[in-house]
Structure 1
Amino acid sequence: MMIPEAWENHESMSEEKKAFYAYHSCLMEPWDGPALIAACDGDRICTTLDRNGLRPFRYVVTKDRFVVGASETGVLDIPAERVLYKGRLQPGRLFLIDTVQGRIIGDDEIKRQVSIRQPYGQWLAENMITVNDLPEPAPEHVPGLDLETLEARQRAFGYTSEELKILIGPMAETGAEPIGSMGNDTPLAVLSNKPQLLFHYFKQLFAQVTNPPLDAIREELVTSLETSIGTEKDLFDESPEHCRQLHLKQPILSNEAFARIKDLDLPGLKSVTLSTLFPKSGATGALEQAVDRLCIEAARAIREGGATLVILSDRGIGPDQIQIPSLLATAAVHHYLIREGLRTRAGLLVESGEAREVMHCCLLIGYGASAVNPYLTLETVAWMCIDGLIDSDISSEQAEKNILKALGKGILKTMSKMGISTIQCYHGAQIFEAIGLKQSVIDKYFTWTASRIEGVGLEEIEQEYRQHHHHGYPERPVAADHTLDVGGYYQWRKDGEHHLFNPQTIALLQLSTRIGDPNRFREYTNLIEEQIEQIGTLRGLLDFKPL
C-alpha cells in the first residue's frame, strides 16, 4: 500500500492486483522512492523496492540454505559450487524469507493473497466514479466564449500578447509545451517595476543526487497523472466507503468536465463552489480579509455542509470585483484546513482564469489543488481559433484538447525533474522556494515553504493585483485599444520587461569584439554593472563593506 509497484499502465497485471492498488490509492499516495525497505518481525524478513527500482538489491541463495542480500554482488566471498541460484529484486516487488516455514515466498504469492482478501474490485465499481459517470450539465451551466468581456478579463488577469504567441498558441497547435533556451535575464518578481502575478515569486526546486530526476518519456510506464478526489478515511480500516471518490485521468480539466463536477451531489460526494472574489471598493487590507473569509467558508462548508469537494472559483470578475490570487487562495485554504483538522475530509479544486502556464498549474497542485480548470485559457484558445491566430486546420475542440494535453505533459515533465513519478506524490508537496515574500506571508499561507529572502507582503500583492484589474477595468473610459500588454518577459520588447541583454548592451558587445576596442568593451561592462545595480539582480544589491 505504501510502496506499490507501477500498476496504472501495467497491461499484464491481474485485475485483482490492480483493484487492490487502485483501492489503496484512495487512502494514501504512493511513496515512489528511491528506497529499498527492509523489515523483520523475528520470524520473517522482507525487503521491497520502489516502483522505479533506483535502489538495487541482489541476493544469492546457497545450497546449504543461506541467503545473502545486499546492494551489490560479491559482498561475501561465496564459492560458486555453493550457489543454488542468484537474482535481483525487481522494481516494486517483495522478497520475503519465512524462517518458520523455511522457505522464500515470492512476490506473486504474497500479493495474490492480499489482493483477494477483500472484494476490492467490487467496491471500486460500486463507489468510485469518473467524470464520464456524471450526468451531462445543462448547456447554461457550461459557460462558453464571451467575446464581449474576453479582452477585459484577459487584461485583468495579466495576460500578454507574448503569452498568446509564445505559449498558448503553440500548446494549442501541438499539444506540447514550447521549448525554450535556458537562462533568464529579467528581474526577479520582487525587483521588477511591473506588476507581477503571485506565481512569479516561486521557483521550482530540482532533484539532488540522492533523489535523481526521471526521464518522463522513456520511463512512461512508472509515471502517472491519475488521481482521486474526496474524503480520505482511516488508514487502519477497510470498507467500501474508503473508495467513495471521484477519479480523474489527469488534473487539468475542461470547462464541460468541471461543470459536471460543480453539479455533483451524491451520497458521500458533494461539491460546493466558493467565490475567490472581493469588492474593489474595499480599503487597503481587503485582500487579507477576503482570504480569511474564504478559509472560514471552506471550513464551514465541510464541517456543516458535508462538502467533500471544495471548488475555489474566480469566475464573475468584473468592474467591481477583484480576484484573490488563485495560488494564495489555494494555499491559504489548504493550510487552514490542515490546522482545523479538516483537510482529509475534502479535496480542493480550482477554477482559475489566472492559470495558463505549466508552472502555474504545478504551483496550484503543489499547494493543495487536486484539479485545475484554466477556463480563461480555454476561452482564449477558442477566440484565437476564430481570429485565425491558430492553424486553420485545427478546430477549437481539438485546440482545447491539445492545450489540456500540453499542460498535463508539462506537469509530468516538472514532476520528473524532482524524481517524482505520480501526481499524487506531487500534490501538496510544496517543492518550491519563495523569493521575495515576507516571512509572515509564508508562515500563514505557505507554511513550511523554503524562503531565504524576504520582500513584499499582502498589501503589496494586493496593489499589484489591483493594477492588473485596473488595466482590464479602468475607472475612466479610455480609447479603444484591442491589444494586450506586450509582456516582454521571454523576448525583449521596447515597452516590456527589462532585460540585462538588450539591444544597447548587445550592440556594444558586438562592436567591441568586432573592432577589438577595449574602451568599447569597458563601456559594455559598465553598462551591465549599472543595470545590475539599478534594476535586476540580487548581486546588484550587494556591496563591499569597508573595514
Structure 2
Amino acid sequence: MYDPRFEHDACGVSFVVHVKGVASHRIVQTGLGALCSMEHRGATGAEVETGDGAGILLQVPDKFLRKVAGVALPPRGAYGVGIAFLPADHALAEKAKAAIVDILDDEHLVALGWREVPVDPSCLGASARKVMPSFSQLFVAARGDASGSSRDGAAGTVTGIELDRKLFVARKRIEHELPAELRTYFPSFSSRTLVYKGMLTTPELGMFFPDLSDQDMESALVLVHSRFSTNTFPSWPLAHPYRFIAHNGEINTVQGNRNWMRTREALLSTPLIPGLERAFPICTLGGSDSMSFDEVLELLHLSGRALPHAVLMMIPEAWENHETMSPEKRAFYRYHSSLMEPWDGPASVAFTDGTVIGAVLDRNGLRPSRYWVTDDDLVIAASEVGVVNVSPERVVRKGRLQPGRMLLVDTSLGRIVDDEEIKRSLAAAAPYAQWLADGMVSLPDLPDREHVVHSRESVLRRQQVFGYTHEDMKVIIAPMA
C-alpha cells in the first residue's frame, strides 16, 4: 500500500539572479526558459498533460501588483501577498475567505483585498483539472498600515521580515484551524517573495499563469523547480518551490527530524514571534520531506537567524572528523549540533529570502549542481548544464557545488559571497567555543552512578521506554542470546 514515508524525489532545480539586484522581466523569462529546459527532470503519468509539479519563486513584483490589485497598496515591503489555493466550489471558497479574514483580524492584520488570479486550465490534463483548486491573491497589511500609515503616523512601520513573522503565525493558523472542507493552502504568504506553482509540467507553468508573461512582472531573482516524485502522488501543494527552498533529492532522515521538532515544540519560544505556540505543529502532518524541511527552515530564519545560518544548521558539512577545520568553525558546528540534527540527503537545496539566493549540497554530495557567472552580472545555477543558452565568451566563471559547500549571492551587497567567507563570518558572530566550554557536559566526565539491580518485572517497562519492538527482540536480541 502507498505510504508517504517512502517518498523520493529526483527533480530539476535552477535559479537565475542579477548580482546587483536589478529587477527585470528578462530574469523571469530566463528562469521560465531554464525550467522548460528541465522538462525531462519532471514526470507525467499516463496523461502527458498532467505533471508532478512545476513552479517559480520570485521577488514580490510591486509594479505589477499595483497595476492589478484593484486596491490601494501600502509602500513596498509594508504589505504581504500570497496566492491562496482555495476550495474549487465557489460557496466553500467564499466561506474559507471569510474564515481567513477572521483569523487575520485576530492576528492584528488587515485583508486589503482579494484578486482572482487568471488561469488557463485548457492546458491541463484531466487528472490535474479534476483536483485543481481555485486561486485568489490576498493582500494583507498590519493593522494601522493598511492605508500606508501606522498608529503613530509613520508610513509602513511593520515591514519586511517583521511583517512576515505576523503572516507566518496567521498562515499556520489558517492551515491548522480551517475545517477539511474549507482547507486552504498558501504556497507563499510574504512581503518579500511570491510563488506560482501547481500540478503542472514545465511548459504549462507560463501558460497556466498568464501573470508570468506580463512585462511588469519583474524580479532580480527567480528560483524554479521541475518535480519528479516516485512512490508518491502528485498534488498541487506538493509542487516546488516552497516558501524558501527548492530541493533535488530526498531527506532520508526526515522521520527522525520531524519527531525531534515535535518533541522540542514545548520548549520553543522567541520574543520575535509572540504567541509562537499558535503556529504548532511546525511540520505539517502528511507533508513531503521537502515541505517539512522548508517549514523548519522558515522557523529558524524568522526567529532571528540569517538564512545561510539557518541552512547550515540543517545541512552541516562533514565536520566531526575534519582534521584541518578551524577551531572556530568546528565550535560553530558542534554548538548547533546540540540544537538541530542534520537533515541528511542526498540533497541539493536552493534557497532564497528575496534578497540572498544560494544553493548548498549536503555532505553526501550525490546531487550535482553547476553554476555560471556571466559578464552582465547574471549568476545561473542548475542541477545540470545547458539549462540557459549562454555564449562561452560571456562566461567569466563557472564551477560546481562540492559536498558541504555553499554558493551564495547577496543582492544587497551586489556580489557573490564565498563559502569560506560565509562560514568564517558566522563562526565569528558569537563565542561558540566559550558557550560549549561553559554549557556542554561530556558523558565521560560524569561521576559513576550507584549500581542498580533491576527486577525482572521491570524488563518490559524498560523495553518500552527505550523503544524496543517485537522485531528487535525476535530478529536481533534472540539470535544474540
Greater relative contact order (Cα < 8 A, sep 6+): 2
Structure with larger Rg: 1
TM-score, length basis structure 1:
0.28
TM-score, length basis structure 2:
0.32
